[in-house]
A and B are shown apart, each in its own frame.
Chain A
């Protein structure tokens, strides 16, 4: 197939689909009801889009730190990372 060279796997496909769905949902939400930028516990004025970006990036770093420092399963830290994203989205 023409996409063979991309070496798709099921987990990465799920990851990207989820990411695009979240982005699409954010776009629809912000188009229908635009949010006003505000200041939360993060040291800068943010919109939900920026908070989502910060949340996802830091969540990835949490996973990487877990991988580098421990030998335990990633699923242990996964709920905490998701919780962190939610935390940043609501109060960040």
Chain B
């Protein structure tokens, strides 16, 4: 796409840059400063160089949390993306059903994250929760997310899927709606099967929005904090201690600013590099389909 070349366009971005730089660069510099020091109290610190990074990089619990995080984000993507696409395909295309579906779909997205945790705590409790009671008493399976790691994982995943699949569905729906009617007519004339229509028309046309969906879902699930913190507190044991939960435990719980700073920066760098890869993919996908 050819745009007007004009360096004065910088002026239009100044408000954004000022506001984001204020909220981003100053705190980031502070975190870098934390990470090279051992801080005992206000104004009392000792320069320790790269000691904190060494500790963090060799922290076995952090490695566990990292792999747990990758597993969690991977599962989230594998389940939510196909489910979201299926829902988008099933949603009505016109009439009052469109508004109704959009409103219902958006509902879980607008619930504060710790309320989500609270809803699910109530929902899965074996004694007072519908889900917990149903599984334990009707299906006769001993299910307890506070005692068994596998159950805690299933609960956290269910909650995550319940919470965020609508976002994927909404984005996929937006992509579907952008496909001009003529494509479908052409497919009908060619006698294409519904699967072929999906595979060769709908899916390629949705690539742009789906990449955004994948990106948002990967990053947000990688940063997940409030919901599992409220639901499981990272337990039982450490089985649902994801990266953010571990980080907050370090920073606020033990007030170990140096280690927390080093941890934060490594965390941020991992996200930064993943973000860059996704961004490149996103740009090239956009070029390919012209959406």
Contacts and interface: CB of A to CB of B under 8 A. Distances in A.
Contact of A67 (B32, B47, B57): B57
Nearest to A31: B7
Given A60-B269, A67-B53, A6 B36 contact: no
Contacts, number: 51
Given A4-B43, A16-B29, A64 B273 contact: no
Give the interface size class of chain A.
Answer: 20 to 34
B54 A57 contact: no
B50 interface: yes
Contacts of A4: 43
Contacts of B269: 57, 60-61, 64
A9 B36 contact: yes
B37 A9 contact: yes
B254 to A, nearest CB: 18
B242 interface: no
Given A61-B269, A67-B53, A6 B47 contact: no
A15 interface: yes
B273 A57 contact: yes
B6 interface: no
B266 interface: yes
Specify the main secondary structure of chain B where it touches its partner: helix
A44 B37 contact: no
Nearest to A20: B25
A7 B37 contact: yes
A54 to B, nearest CB: 8
A30 to B, nearest CB: 10
What is the predominant secondary structure among interface residues of chain A facing chain B?
helix
Nearest to A6: B30
B39 A7 contact: yes
B265 to A, nearest CB: 9
Given A57-B272, A57-B273, A68-B57, A6 B50 contact: no
A4 B45 CA distance: 11
A9 B177 CA distance: 54
Residue in B7, B26, B29, B280 whose Cβ sees the most chain A Cβ within 10 Å: B29
B94 interface: no
A41 interface: no
Given A57-B273, A60-B269, A67-B50, A6 B33 contact: yes
Interface in B51-77: 53-54, 57-58
Nearest to B284: A44
A53 B280 CA distance: 13
B195 interface: no
Interface string A28-62: 00010000000000001000000001100100110
Contacts of A68: 54, 57-58
Contacts of B4: none
B58 A9 contact: no
Contacts of A60: 269
8 contacts: A7-B33, A9-B33, A9-B37, A11-B36, A31-B7, A57-B272, A57-B273, A67-B54
Interface of B: 7, 26, 29-30, 32-34, 36-37, 39, 43, 45, 47, 49-50, 53-54, 57-58, 266, 269, 272-273, 276, 280, 284
